[in-house]
């Protein structure tokens, strides 16, 4: 999300927090050293300017693919940290991304809590007065924003109520001309061979033979029951090959048993570089991971958990434009750079102490 925000040319990220080591390393490699590697629950609120808060609390506990435990888990309660930042910094606006399952988790109680926390964060957390936010909640297929992937997500935009500005609707510039998987993976002008994170050949011979039985756009179900290579699948993603004439299906962060995502021409799983293209990352964005066999799942997890930068760019731009059009004063670039530098220096010192 930060990459897309900065691609607007209207925003600079001052401070970012993540507790995944390799995600933090990837961030520093590509975006900057203003990334703090920490558990956000233990991280003291930084003394930095904040005009727009960007938040992506983990979505797994709200996903209908998993247990749907929602706000019952510690991970599902990280929306409280979004409220903590809103209460303390009172930014003019915020953007939060999650899965559609947030609306139905815990029979709707999870969303009731999240909505209260985002509307009146200080009241929700400490029963005191504080900033109030007007919300706009949209279910968006990111293919409509220019991402070559059908990825339905819940986008919550909040604008501080005292500003008197209605949260803007998210534009859908690609609604009638969605980009396809074939368009980005078969781009002859930009070949994949030789690019970082493009490791292939990770499938067993049995998987390769199974994929040869499945045409592009189909999944495990086309293999007749009783065939020695037939499998049972609980979701349509299982051994599903891309259809090059359509956006890809949703890129996910983890899972085995035929859930890696599979190429439309070659009988193999997608490489992480191909996943990154389907998530709209530029080829120059290099993902970091532990050396050896552990690199593939670590990088796959980062890509699958990411907000596609092209989508984030559209969303953040519409929020920033709304604030500018109504004359909301923003921090100066000098103030932002100075604060960002303080965070980067502290991060470098911390890294030196732990290395």
- Residue 66 pLDDT > 80, yes or no? no
pLDDT of residue 78: 87
Average pLDDT rounded to a whole number, residues 92-103: 93
205-212: long-range contacts at Cβ-Cβ below 8 A with a sequence spacing of 24 or more? 207/258, 207/269, 208/267, 208/268, 209/267, 210/239, 211/239, 211/241, 211/262, 211/267, 211/268, 212/267
Average pLDDT along the chain = 93
Average pLDDT rounded to a whole number, residues 306-331: 97
Average pLDDT rounded to a whole number, residues 64-89: 72
193 in a domain, yes or no?
no
171 in a domain, yes or no?
yes
Q: Measure the CA dihedral 62/65/69/74, to 10°.
A: -60
26 in a domain, yes or no?
yes
User: What CA–CA distance (Å, rounded) separates 336 from 11?
Assistant: 10
- Residue 137 pLDDT > 70, yes or no? yes
Q: Residues 118, 111: contact at Cβ < 8 Å?
A: no
pLDDT of residue 68: 44
Q: Which range (58-72, 90-104, 247-261, 333-347) has the least confidence?
A: 58-72
User: What CA–CA distance (Å, rounded) separates 143 from 175?
Assistant: 7
What's the whole-model pTM score?
Answer: 0.93
- Residue 281 pLDDT > 80, yes or no? yes
Q: Return the percentage of the chain with pLDDT > 90, whole number.
A: 83
221 in a domain, yes or no?
no
Alpha carbon 56 to its chain centroid, in Å, reads 7
Q: What is the CATH number of the domain that holds 147?
A: 3.40.50.150
Tokens 């969605």 belong to: 178
Q: Which range (57-71, 151-165, 218-232) has the least confidence?
A: 57-71
- Residue 129 pLDDT > 90, yes or no? yes
pLDDT of residue 104: 83
Q: Residues 166, 160: contact at Cβ < 8 Å?
A: no
Tokens representing 262 are: 């599979």
Tokens representing 197 are: 């994170």
Tokens representing 353 are: 């102490």
User: What CA–CA distance (Å, rounded) separates 323 from 166?
Assistant: 10
267 in a domain, yes or no?
no
- Residue 70 pLDDT > 60, yes or no? no
pLDDT of residue 75: 56
User: What CA–CA distance (Å, rounded) separates 202 from 180?
Assistant: 25
Tokens representing 8 are: 């607007």
Task: Work out the angle at residue 304's Cα, subtended by the Cα atoms of residues 303 and 307, and round it to the nearest 5 degrees.
Answer: 80
Task: Classify strands 93-98 and 52-55 as parallel, antiparallel or unpaired.
Answer: parallel
Neighbours of 353 (CB within 10 A): 7
Tokens 């693919």 belong to: 65
Give, in order, the Cα–Cα distances in Å from 236 to each of 142, 221, 339. 20, 9, 47
103 in a domain, yes or no?
yes
17 SS3 class? strand
Q: Residues 285, 152: contact at Cβ < 8 Å?
A: no
- Residue 273 pLDDT > 70, yes or no? yes
Number of domains the chain contains: 1
153 in a domain, yes or no?
yes
pLDDT of residue 77: 84
> Which residues span the domain enclosing 76?
2-177+307-354
Which segments of the chain are extended strands (E)?
16-18, 35-37, 52-55, 93-98, 133-141, 152-160
- Please confirm, yes or no, whether 59 is among the known catalytic residues: yes
Task: Classify strands 35-37 and 133-141 as parallel, antiparallel or unpaired.
Answer: unpaired
23 in a domain, yes or no?
yes
Among candidate residues 217, 139, 140, 146, the one with its CA nearest the CA of residue 177: 146
pLDDT of residue 228: 96
């Amino acid at each position: 999300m930060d990459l897309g925000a900065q691609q607007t040319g209207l925003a600079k990220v001052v401070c970012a927090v993540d507790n995944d080591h390799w995600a933090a390393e990837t961030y520093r490699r590509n975006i900057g050293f203003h990334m703090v590697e920490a558990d956000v629950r233990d991280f003291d609120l930084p003394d930095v300017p904040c005009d727009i808060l960007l938040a992506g609390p983990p979505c797994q506990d709200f996903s209908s693919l998993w247990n749907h435990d929602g706000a019952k888990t510690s991970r599902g309660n990280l929306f409280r940290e979004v409220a903590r930042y809103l209460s303390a910094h009172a930014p003019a606006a915020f953007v939060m991304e999650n899965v559609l399952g947030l609306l139905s988790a815990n029979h709707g109680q999870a969303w009731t809590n999240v909505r209260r926390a985002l509307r009146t964060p200080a009241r929700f957390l400490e029963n005191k007065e504080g900033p109030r936010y007007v919300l706009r909640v949209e279910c968006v297929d990111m293919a409509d924003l220019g991402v070559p992937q059908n990825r339905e997500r819940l986008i919550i935009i909040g604008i501080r109520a005292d500003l008197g500005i209605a949260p803007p609707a998210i534009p859908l510039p690609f609604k009638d001309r969605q980009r396809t998987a074939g368009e980005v993976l078969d781009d002859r002008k930009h070949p994949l061979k030789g690019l970082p994170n493009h490791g292939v050949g990770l499938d067993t011979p049995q998987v390769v033979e199974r994929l040869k039985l499945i045409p592009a756009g189909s999944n495990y179900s086309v293999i007749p029951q009783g065939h020695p290579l037939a499998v049972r699948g609980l979701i349509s993603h299982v051994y599903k090959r891309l259809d090059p004439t359509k956006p890809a299906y949703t890129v996910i962060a983890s899972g085995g048993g035929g859930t890696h995502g599979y190429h439309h021409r070659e009988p193999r799983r997608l490489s992480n570089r191909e996943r990154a293209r389907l998530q709209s990352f530029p080829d120059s964005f290099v993902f970091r991971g532990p050396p050896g066999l552990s690199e593939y799942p670590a990088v796959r997890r980062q890509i699958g958990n990411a907000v596609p930068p092209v989508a984030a760019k559209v969303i953040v731009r519409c929020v920033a434009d709304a604030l500018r059009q109504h004359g909301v004063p923003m921090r100066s670039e000098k103030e932002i750079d100075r604060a960002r530098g303080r965070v980067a220096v502290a991060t470098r010192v911390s890294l030196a102490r732990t290395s």
